[in-house]
Amino acid sequence: MPDPVSLEKLPLRQHATVAAIDWARLAIPESRRLRELGFDEGVHVEVLHRARLGGGPIACRVGRMTVALRRGVAGAILVAPLAG
């Protein structure tokens, strides 16, 4: 299995599962909302769109939902890319 990367760095359309979430890097309301939107270890994720090359948000699929996140938050989510 490839090494874990942050969700921020995951290539577009590359399927992955969440390996770990660095909750300590996130504000309390942020981590609550992240959990409510379904982020959890073992969940299937995929980056669908990036706003632009700078610091804009990313849109990613988590479970069956599409969620917009800022890069800072995505950087706290460590994912393991799936082969294929």
Q: How far is the CB of 29 from another protein (least distance, A)?
A: 6
Give the count of residues interacting with another protein (CB under 8 A). Answer: 31
Write out the binding residues for another protein, residues 4-63 only, by CB under 8 A.
Answer: 27, 29-30, 32-38, 40, 48-57, 59, 63
Q: Is 84 in the site for another protein (CB under 8 A)?
A: no
- Cβ neighbours of residue 19 under 8 Å, at least 6 residues apart? 4, 41, 78, 79, 80
**For binding to another protein (CB under 8 A), which residues are involved?**
27, 29-30, 32-38, 40, 48-57, 59, 63-70, 73
